[in-house]
Amino acid sequence: MRAGRLMISAAGSGCGKSVVTMGLLQALKERGIRLQSFKCGPDYIDPGFHTRVLGIGCRNLDTYLMGEEETKEEADQAERSGLLAVAEGAMGLFDGLGGDLPHSAYYIASVCEMPVLVVLDAEREEGCDRQLQRLLEKDTQRRIRAVLINRCRQENYPAILQTLRQVMDLADPAGAHGTFTQGGISLIGYLPPMPEARFPSRHLGLEEAREAEDFAGRMHRIAVRLEEGGCVGAVLQLMKGQPPACAAMKEDGISRHEDGRKSRSLFPEALDCGSCRIAVARDEAFSFLYQRSLDNLEQAGAKLCFFSPLHDASLPDGTDGLYLPGGYPELHAAALEENRSMRRAVRQAVQSRMPTVAECGGFLYLGERLSGEDGHLYEMVHALPGNARRKERLVRFGYLELIQDKGDSLLFREKEQIPAHEFHYWDSDCCGEDLAAQKRSKGQSWRCGYAGPNLYAAFPHLYLNRVRAQRFADAARSWRRKTNDT
């Protein structure tokens, strides 16, 4: 296991690992420690909370969409930059593709050589001892190194502590509570039930970070409680002693995040970004993408121009390409309809064959009409056919594979197989048929999306790796040359 790295996970969703992660990030930040946070898998909500805590963008670790090499590179880059790497797992520690180990938080911890801190939920019907026992039974690499009990009342702590000591002794008879002997597991303390730790949820997870009231005050109070309980010092010990040197961050190699602040880029020696301009939607309705996708676009020579389909009247001047990521357009359908000038500008851009990538919420925006949470159909861009409405459950949820089976398109070449992910309740009555989609783990297949020489528009979220980002930027440059020549 590598020093300066930590994975925080749990037996399953709903154990409070997000709040524990945010509290620890806040406490470490208040100690003056420089950090890079990560979120495992295709999660776009929790990274917003991490970003608000640290003031720099959270990054995703996803061995399915990004591959093992680039996932490991993310963690290695944090180390090279002198940052402690704190990653929050998705769902349960061992919940991966098809409910199995591959691409789970545990799998990612293995790829990135991270020890694991397990969050146990004292309010769960299943006891803390059983939660831990189930995890230890699968921990073949002995990565679980510490345990923190969440929502634990002080009067209940001694009894829970006693049962957990028995489980940890069985896992490592030679180990001792509170020490870090070889193969040992440490119980580092507990976080009591706190009103500050309650965040409302909606259909895709927690409400977004920008909506949380008194966020800074709440995070500080959680951090103070973790400090008082000795949890923060124990975490630093788990990460193998003193953190890396806190050298001043350089101002070169920077990229913009959702709140306009700047943070490191993986590519400080990026190409000249003036060769094309790609407009990226980013506001309350659109924000679901991987920061590394933006880094790859910049490395490919694109200048990223952020804009708001909600609040801006038109696309940025000189736009050569359009990136409409996922988000919550259904929560802002009325405001999106009202912004007629922006809808007209986006429709004209797509109809003029400006290179465009539109995923999930961005795809819904390009359609004809979108149902809001009130059930009313609101007018959207009308660049693509289809009306979208809410369904009773998640639609085609999970990792999948796209296949470009008929010719080349903006992002894909014929016969290419592309990892992707879907996560949405709204569905369109006209999802497109240009791409083949399949889930090998479940034996499911269907057709979806619009994929042409200047367009990718579909429900599946993509990761723009270096190859796909280069294709997008090259198409934007080509469009720029053509429009300048006419």
Instruction: With cut-offs at 50, 70 and 90, classify the pLDDT of residue 250.
Output: very low
Instruction: With cut-offs at 50, 70 and 90, classify the pLDDT of residue 196.
Output: confident
Residue 256 pLDDT: 34
Average pLDDT over residues 111-118: 96
Residue 3 pLDDT: 85
Instruction: Tell me which fold the domain 254-485 belongs to.
Output: Rossmann fold (3.40.50)
CATH architecture of 5-238: 3-Layer(aba) Sandwich (3.40)
* More confident of the two residues 286 and 207: 286
Which segment of 153-157, 276-280, 300-304 scores lowest on mean pLDDT? 153-157
Residue 242 pLDDT: 37
Q: Evaluate if residue 200 carries a pLDDT over 80.
A: no
| Cα–Cα nearest to 423, from 448, 447, 393, 450 | 393
Average pLDDT over residues 317-333: 96
Average pLDDT over residues 292-308: 97
Average pLDDT over residues 212-224: 89
Instruction: With cut-offs at 50, 70 and 90, classify the pLDDT of residue 208.
Output: low
Residue 265 pLDDT: 37
Which segment of 141-145, 277-281, 337-341 scores lowest on mean pLDDT? 141-145
Residue 210 pLDDT: 62
Residue 410 pLDDT: 98
Instruction: With cut-offs at 50, 70 and 90, classify the pLDDT of residue 83.
Output: very high
Distance CA 473, CA 268 (A): 18
| Cα–Cα nearest to 404, from 365, 363, 462, 364 | 462
Three-class secondary structure assignment of the chain: CCCCEEEEEECCCCCCHHHHHHHHHHHHHHCCCCEEEEEECCCCCHHHHHHHHHCCCCEEECCCCCHHHHHHHHHHHHHHCCCEEEEECCCCCCCCHHHCCCCCHHHHHHHCCCCEEEEEECCCCCCHHHHHHHHHHHCCCCCEEEEEEECCCHHHHHHHHHHHHHHHHHHCCCCCCCCCCCCCCEEEEEECCCHHHCCCEECCEECCHHHCCCHHHHHHHHHHHHHHCCHHHHHHHHCCCCCCCCCCCCCCCEEECCCCCEEECCCCCCCCHHHEEEEEECCCCEEECCHHHHHHHHHCCEEEEEECCCCCCCCCCCCCEEEECEECHHHHHHHHHHCHHHHHHHHHHHHCCCCEEEECHHHHHHCCEEECCCCCEEECCCCCCCEEEECCCCCCCEEEEEECCCCCCCCCCCCCEEEEEECCCEEECCCECCEEEEECCCCEEEEEEEEECCEEEECCECCCCHHHHHHHHHHHHHHHHHHHHC
What confidence tens digit (pLDDT) does each residue in 448-463 have? 999 999 999 999 999 9
pTM for the predicted model, two decimal places: 0.85
Residue 284 pLDDT: 93
Residue 211 pLDDT: 62
Q: Evaluate if residue 95 carries a pLDDT over 80.
A: yes
Residue 255 pLDDT: 33
Q: Evaluate if residue 18 carries a pLDDT over 90.
A: yes
Please, which contacts does 402-406 make with residues 24 or more away whose CB atoms are closer than 8 Å? 402/435, 402/436, 402/437, 402/448, 402/449, 402/458, 402/460, 403/435, 403/436, 403/437, 403/438, 404/435, 404/451, 405/435, 405/436, 406/434
Which segment of 190-204, 313-327, 360-374, 416-430 scores lowest on mean pLDDT? 190-204
What confidence tens digit (pLDDT) does each residue in 394-406 have? 788 789 999 999 8
Assess contact for 26 and 220: CB atoms under 8 A. Answer: yes
Instruction: With cut-offs at 50, 70 and 90, classify the pLDDT of residue 106.
Output: very high
Residue 207 pLDDT: 56
Catalytic residues: 360
Instruction: With cut-offs at 50, 70 and 90, classify the pLDDT of residue 99.
Output: low
Residue 395 pLDDT: 82
Fold match between 5-238 and 254-485? yes
Residue 483 pLDDT: 87
Q: Evaluate if residue 182 carries a pLDDT over 50.
A: no
Residue 396 pLDDT: 83
What confidence tens digit (pLDDT) does each residue in 36-80 have? 999 999 988 899 999 999 999 999 999 999 999 999 999 999 999
What confidence tens digit (pLDDT) does each residue in 331-351 have? 999 999 999 999 999 999 999
Instruction: With cut-offs at 50, 70 and 90, classify the pLDDT of residue 96.
Output: confident
Distance CA 203, CA 333 (A): 16
Q: Evaluate if residue 269 carries a pLDDT over 50.
A: no
Which segment of 46-55, 79-88, 171-180, 386-395 scores lowest on mean pLDDT? 171-180
Q: Evaluate if residue 85 carries a pLDDT over 50.
A: yes
* More confident of the two residues 18 and 485: 18
Average pLDDT over residues 240-251: 36
Residues of the chain above pLDDT 70, percent: 86
Q: Per-domain residue ranges for the chain?
A: 5-238, 254-485
Tokens 């190409």 correspond to what residue? Answer: 271
Which segment of 186-200, 263-277, 291-305, 363-377 scores lowest on mean pLDDT? 263-277
Assigned token pair, 384: 């693509």
Q: Are strands 201-202 and 417-422 parallel, antiparallel or unpaired?
A: unpaired
Which segment of 51-60, 162-171, 467-476 scores lowest on mean pLDDT? 162-171
Assess contact for 402 and 410: CB atoms under 8 A. Answer: no
Average pLDDT, the chain: 87
